[in-house]
Structures are given as C-alpha cells and as structure tokens.
Amino acid sequence: MADSQALLKARYGIEQPGTKVPDAIAPLLDRRVTRRYTEQDVPDSLLDALLAAAQSAPAKSDLQQFSVVVMRDKPRIKQIADWIGTMDWIATAPVFLVWCGDMRRGQRLCAMHDMPHANNNMDTFLNTAVDCSLAMAQFMAAADAVGLGTCPISYVRSHIERVSPLLGLPNGVYPVAGLSVGWPVFRRPVSMRLPPTVVVHRERYDDSAMETEVAAYDQRRAARDPIAAGSLKNNDVYPPRDGVGWSENVARQLSVPERFGFGAYLKTKGFDLA
Ligand SMILES: Cc1cc2nc3c(=O)[nH]c(=O)nc-3n(C[C@H](O)[C@H](O)[C@H](O)COP(=O)(O)O)c2cc1C
C-alpha cells in the first residue's frame, strides 16, 4: 500500500489528511524530470511501445492533430543543444523527440476529399497544442513506468527559426516542445507544488486566499530547496540576491517577454490565429 502522506508531503511540503493515494497512481505523484542520462540506449522496440502509448491519448474529435519527430542522430541532437546553449545535458540523451502540433494533416485530408480547410484559426492552434501535450504527457508517464527519465524542452521554441528547418517542418506544423529521453543517472528530488487550496477550486473559481497561501508555499519551498542567487530568472534585468522565493522568481520570469515572435512565426506557418 502506498504511503499516501509521504507522497503528498513530498509533493506539497504538507500532509493532506484524508487523501488516500491508491497504489496504481502513486508513481504519478512521485514523478520528476531527469536531466542526466547514462550512455545506455533505448531500443526501438521499447521506444515504439512508448510512442504507441502516446498515440493512445485522447484526441480532440478524433482528429489526431499531432506529429512527433524522433531524433537519434547524436550530432543533430547536439546541434539543438548547442543552439540552446544552457542545457548541454540534452546532448547526453540517446533520444530527443520534438512534439509538434499538426494542422497540415487535416489540410491534406480536406484536399484529398476536395473540400476547403476552413479552420486555420486559433481554435485549431489550441486543439493541436492540446492533442500534442496530452500525447507527450502520456509518453512521459509510460517512460516513467519503465524506469526511463524525460525532460520537456520548451527552448526548442526559442530557436524555432533554426529547429524548424532542421526537422523539415512544413506549413501547419510547429514544435510544442522537445523531450529528452534516456536512462537516469540519478533521480532528482520531487519538486514541490502549490497546495491544492490554490489550484483546485470547488464549484466556483476563488483565489481570495492566494497571497497568504503563496507566502506560506514560498517559505516551505525555500526551507527545502532554496533558489541560489546565481540561478534566478533574468539576473541580467534584476540584481541577483539570496532569499528570493518561488513567487518572486516567477514574477522575474513573467515580467520579461519570452518568445514574443512566436505568434508571428505561427502566422508564417499558415495559422491566422483569428
Ligand atoms: C512544456 C514544458 C516545457 C519545459 N521546458 C523545459 C526546458 O526547456 N528546459 C528544462 O530544463 N526543463 C523544462 N521543463 C521542465 C520543468 O522545468 C519541470 O517540469 C519543472 O521544473 C518541475 O519539475 P518536475 O517536472 O521535476 O516536477 C519543461 C516542462 C514543461 C511542462
């Protein structure tokens, strides 16, 4: 029987009396990203099973609007790691996946049947991103279940003008995230999450207690895993200092525009985003 309170304390920093974690979902509560991989390969027979698990995720209207590019060629993976520049461990992964929203397939299906594709809009952008994210999440859960480690990489979007041609992404196809996959060198500690009182709303949205709850969360996180001044977000904009908590670090990140060219990129790929 899973030790519910140990799992919940690791995830939230506080116990959740009354919550019972069934054995079947205990591994989901215990998950964490992996950013170092051994040299051991991931056989295609296993990778293909994990990809089948990904394709088993639900798909909006059964439209199946995602694609994934499997990269195993070390120099090509390293090329992406080099462009990113700050995540050299990506190049140590035997497999790098690029998960893509895919409107193109639907456009081609319409053309095959002599009909217009009348949905190159914001809703399709969202649907393709959601299909893709659900598939990637299911892949990660499957990988965890067999002892593999993964780390999503949004930074492929920071170099989209290079990554896109490297992968030959045509119009209608855009990267949602990369995913490095390999056998973990070690397991990182569980990353503490906001308490359910902040995230889970009952019947109606209510964030009236957020500031108090977040202040307590900042303290719990700092006690377990303080943020080193050198690894704060946007240290070039805000002076680094000790004692910055999670919420201030989030504000440091969100106060500076990130990938503000992404919308323009999507428009060049055929999304009108209307
Ligand atoms: C969409 C998405 C993109 C991410 N991009 C990156 C990334 O570019 N680099 C990285 O090191 N981690 C990335 N991560 C991993 C998060 O930093 C990580 O999930 C978070 O710090 C919480 O840690 P945990 O997954 O171990 O709970 C990403 C996660 C998600 C869901």
Q: Are 15 and 220 in contact (CB under 8 A)?
A: no
Structure tokens at 269: 């790929």
33 lines ligand 1 (CB under 6 A): yes
Of the candidates 168, 133, 123, the residue with the CA atom closest to the CA atom of residue 272:
123
Which protein residue has the closest C-alpha to ligand 1 atom 28? 152
Q: Which helix (H) or strand (E) holds 69?
A: strand 66-71
Q: Residue 146 has what pLDDT?
A: 98
C-alpha–C-alpha distance, residues 195 and 9, integer Å:
10
Contacts of 206 by beta carbon, 8 Å cutoff, 6+ apart: none
Q: Which residue has the tokens 């709850």?
A: 213
Q: Which residue has the tokens 């989209």?
A: 160
* Residue-averaged pLDDT of the chain: 97
Q: Are 230 and 128 in contact (CB under 8 A)?
A: no
87 lines ligand 1 (CB under 6 A): yes
Q: Residue 2 has what pLDDT?
A: 86
pTM (two decimals):
0.97
Which protein residue has the closest C-alpha to ligand 1 atom 14? 152
Q: What is the mean pLDDT of residues 37-64?
A: 98
Q: How many Cβ atoms sit within 10 Å of the Cβ of residue 133?
A: 17
Q: Residue 263 has what pLDDT?
A: 93
- Calculate how far, in angstroms, residue 107's C-alpha sits from the geometric centre of ligand 1: 32
- Calculate how far, in angstroms, residue 136's C-alpha sits from the geometric centre of ligand 1: 13
184 lines ligand 1 (CB under 6 A): no
Which protein residue has the closest C-alpha to ligand 1 atom 7? 153
Band (pLDDT 50/70/90 cuts) for residue 94 is very high
| Partners of residue 69 on adjacent β-strands | 98
253 lines ligand 1 (CB under 6 A): no
Alpha-carbon distance values, 202 to 44, 157, 168, 212, 263 (Å): 44, 35, 45, 19, 34
C-alpha–C-alpha distance, residues 225 and 192, integer Å:
9
Q: Which of 154, 156, 158, 187 to mutate to test the pocket of ligand 1 (most atoms within 8 A of CB)?
A: 154
C-alpha–C-alpha distance, residues 228 and 243, integer Å:
8
Query: What atom in ligand 1 is closest to the CA of residue 156?
Result: 8
Domains and their CATH numbers in the chain: 31-188 (3.40.109.10), 196-254 (no CATH)
Band (pLDDT 50/70/90 cuts) for residue 1 is confident
151 lines ligand 1 (CB under 6 A): yes
Q: Which residue has the tokens 């377990």?
A: 224
